[in-house]
């Protein structure tokens, strides 16, 4: 089912979900040690949040939440387009998509690699938000370094080779 097949949320439903996300993120900012910062998009008038996370494999990265009329979209910039080993790199990510739940790797702006997912507005609750943020963190941490070693192999090759 695509987003277009879902009935649009009412303005009241969107306001309630927006408040739920605001409250959840405030608690996460105070309680979750991997969250470095939480910001709201105040310039465009859209319902968007930016969550900066501190990882081990990928030092710092952001997860973007974007509440739309029918669904909540989640996106994370993972890495730039590969410099080499293109077929192996994209095969690696496509195979990883089989192991992800509710999110998938995709190509975005400037051929960069993103992790993307979305859920219907009516599914959004604390558990759903926990799952989306946790999955974003886990998938970036799990798959970032192996993908970098394929797509940027010459950078990771020891100097004595």
Where do the domains of the chain lie, and which CATH numbers do they carry?
3-156 (3.30.1460.10)
The answer for 104, left when phi > 0, alpha when psi is -120 to 50, beta otherwise, is beta
Q: What is the pTM of this model?
A: 0.90
pLDDT beyond 80 at 3: no
Of the candidates 49, 43, 41, the one whose C-alpha atom is nearest the C-alpha of residue 20 is: 49
Other Cβ atoms less than 10 A from the Cβ of 75: the count is 19
pLDDT beyond 60 at 63: yes
In 5-108, alpha helices (H): 11-31, 86-97
Other Cβ atoms less than 10 A from the Cβ of 107: the count is 12
Q: What is the band of 45 on the pLDDT scale with cuts at 50, 70, 90?
A: confident
What do you get for the CA distance between the two ends of the chain, in Å? 50
Q: For 93-121, what is each residue's pLDDT tens digit?
A: 999 999 999 999 999 989 999 999 999 99
pLDDT beyond 70 at 160: no
CA distances from 93 to 25, 138, 142 (A): 29, 15, 12
pLDDT beyond 80 at 66: yes
Q: For 6-21, what is each residue's pLDDT tens digit?
A: 789 999 999 999 999 9
């Amino acid at each position: 089912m695509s987003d277009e097949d879902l009935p649009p949320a009412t303005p009241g439903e969107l306001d309630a979900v927006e408040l739920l996300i605001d409250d959840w993120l405030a608690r996460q900012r105070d309680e979750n040690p991997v969250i470095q910062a939480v910001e709201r998009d105040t310039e465009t008038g859209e319902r968007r949040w930016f969550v900066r996370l501190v990882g081990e494999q990928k030092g710092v990265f952001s997860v973007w939440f974007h509440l739309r009329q029918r669904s909540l979209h989640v996106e994370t910039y993972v890495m730039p387009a590969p410099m080499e080993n293109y077929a192996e790199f994209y095969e690696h990510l496509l195979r990883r998509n089989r192991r992800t739940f509710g999110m998938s790797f995709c190509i975005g702006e400037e051929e960069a690699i993103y992790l993307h997912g979305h859920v219907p507005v009516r599914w959004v609750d604390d558990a759903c938000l926990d799952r989306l943020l946790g999955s974003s963190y886990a998938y970036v941490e799990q798959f970032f370094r192996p993908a970098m070693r394929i797509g940027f192999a010459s950078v990771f090759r020891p100097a004595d080779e």
